[in-house]
Amino acid sequence: MAAAVMDSELGSLVKVSAAVWVAMFYARLAAASLRPGAPRLAALLPVVALFCVVPFSFSTTTFRGCSAFFLSWLGVFKLLLLAAGRGPLDPTHPLHHFVFSASLPVKLRHLASAKPAKDVDPAPANESAVGNILVSGAVIPLIIYTYQFKNAMSRYQLLILYTGHIYFSLQLLLAVVHGLIHGVLGMEMEPQVDRPYLASSLRDFWGRRWNLMVPAILRPSVYRPVRARLGDAAGVLAAFLVSGLMHEVMFFYIMWRPPSGEVTVFFLLHGVCTAAEAWWARHAGWWRPPRAAAVPLTLAFVAGTGFWLFFPAMIKGGLDEMVLHECQGMVAVMEQSGRWLAGATNFTLETR
C-alpha cells in the first residue's frame, strides 16, 4: 500500500514538474513582452492560479506541504513581485535559472560565466549541506522511532519532539535541494536556517535566523510598501499578519481543515512584540539585556507562545498523526526496497 502511494506521488511529481516548466516558460515570455503593471499582472494570473492548485495534485502531507510552501506561497509572491517589476525573478535570465528561481528557495550565484565568481567560495555552503544531510538523516529516524512512546509522554515532551522533527526535516529537505541545485545549475540556496537557538531577540530570530526565505519575500512585497505609507511599526505588523495568514493557508493545504485562527494570533503577537522591541531599541538603546540573558529569554518566549498557539493548531488538525503515518509508510517502503535489493544481489551471486 505504501509503495503504491509513493508511486502515485512520484507520478504526480513528474506531471506537476512538467506543468511548472511550461507555465514558467509562458510567464518568462509574458514578463519579457509586457511592461510591469496591470497588463503583466493579468498575463501572469493564470500561472498564479496554477501554483495555487498544484498542492491538490498530491495525497501526502509531505508533497502537499512542500509544493504549497515552494509554489503556492513563495512562488506566487515572486510572480506578483515580477508583475510589479520587482523581486528575484528576471525574464532576461535563462529559462532553467528562471524556473528554479521561481519554484524553489534559491538565489543565483553566477550567470555570466560557467565559472564561480572569484569572491565566492562555495565550499563552506557545500560542507554545511552535507553536514545537515548526515545529521538530519541520522536524527529523523530516531525521532520517528520515539513516536511509538508518544502516549507515555507529557504534552511538553511531545511538543519538543514535534519541534525537533520540523527543524531537522526542514534542514534535510533544504540541504538535499541545495545539493541538487548547486550541482546542476551552480546556484546557491537562499539561507533558510542560521542557528535559531542563538537568537538574542525576536528581530534576530525572525529576520536573520529562522526560515529566512519568508522574510526575504515579505520585505519587498509587504513590509516596505506598508512602511513607506504608514511607518515601520505598521510594516512589521503587516508582514507578520500576512505570514500568519499564509501559515493558515499552508495548514489548510496540508490538513484540508478550515483555519482555526490560532496561528494568525501567534504571528500577530510576535509582530506586536517585534515592533515594540524595535521601538525600545530606538528610544532606549542605552540599555539592552546581556546576550547571556537575551538568548534564553527569546527562546523561552518563542517556545512558550508556540506551545500555546502554534502547535495546538497543528495537533487539533491531526497533522502529527498524518506525518507519523507517512513516516512509517516511508520506512516500510525502504525496508521493502532493501529486501528487494538483497534478493536481487543474492540471485545474481547464485547465478554466477
**89 assigned to some structural domain:** yes
**129 assigned to some structural domain:** yes
> Residue 123: is its pLDDT beyond 70?
no
User: Would you state the pLDDT for residue 116?
Assistant: 43
Q: How does pLDDT run across 86-120, given as a tens digit for each residue? A: 988 999 988 888 998 898 877 655 444 434 444 44
**116 assigned to some structural domain:** no
User: Same domain for 134 and 250?
Assistant: no
User: Would you state the pLDDT for residue 113?
Assistant: 40
> What is the pLDDT confidence band of residue 201, given thresholds at 50, 70 and 90?
very high
User: Around 267, how many Cα atoms within 13 Å sit in the side-chain half-sphere?
Assistant: 20
Q: Where are the beta strands (DSSP E) in 87-175?
A: 106-107
Phi, psi (deg, nearest 5) at residue 190 = -60, 130
Q: How does pLDDT run across 263-321, given as a tens digit for each residue? A: 999 999 999 999 999 888 887 665 678 889 999 999 999 989 998 888 888 777 677 67
Structural domain span for residue 285: 202-343
Q: In angstroms, rounded to a whole number, what is the distance separating the alpha carbons of residues 186 and 188?
A: 7
Q: How does pLDDT run across 11-51, given as a tens digit for each residue? A: 889 999 999 999 999 999 999 999 999 999 999 999 999 99
Last residue of a domain, one of 107, 132, 159: 107
User: Same domain for 261 and 338?
Assistant: yes
User: Would you state the pLDDT for residue 205?
Assistant: 94
User: Same domain for 179 and 241?
Assistant: no
**40 assigned to some structural domain:** yes
Range picked from 155-164, 202-211, 315-324 for highest mean pLDDT: 202-211
**8 assigned to some structural domain:** yes
> Residue 344: is its pLDDT beyond 70?
no
Q: In angstroms, rounded to a whole number, what is the distance separating the alpha carbons of residues 248 and 94?
A: 34
> Residue 227: is its pLDDT beyond 60?
yes
**115 assigned to some structural domain:** no
User: Same domain for 318 and 206?
Assistant: yes
**195 assigned to some structural domain:** no
User: Same domain for 3 and 129?
Assistant: no
User: Would you state the pLDDT for residue 183?
Assistant: 66
Which of 229, 236, 345, 214 shows the shortest CA–CA distance to 281? Answer: 236
Last residue of a domain, one of 189, 212, 233: 189
> What is the pLDDT confidence band of residue 143, given thresholds at 50, 70 and 90?
confident
Q: How does pLDDT run across 204-217, given as a tens digit for each residue? A: 999 998 888 899 89
Q: Where are the beta strands (DSSP E) in 146-214?
A: 188-189
- As a whole number, mean pLDDT of residues 126-145 equals 74
User: Same domain for 262 and 324?
Assistant: yes
Collapsed DSSP state (helix, strand, coil) of residue 107? strand
Q: State how many domains the chain has.
A: 3
User: Would you state the pLDDT for residue 336?
Assistant: 54
> What is the pLDDT confidence band of residue 249, given thresholds at 50, 70 and 90?
very high
User: Same domain for 85 and 136?
Assistant: no
Last residue of a domain, one of 163, 189, 215: 189
User: Would you state the pLDDT for residue 24?
Assistant: 95
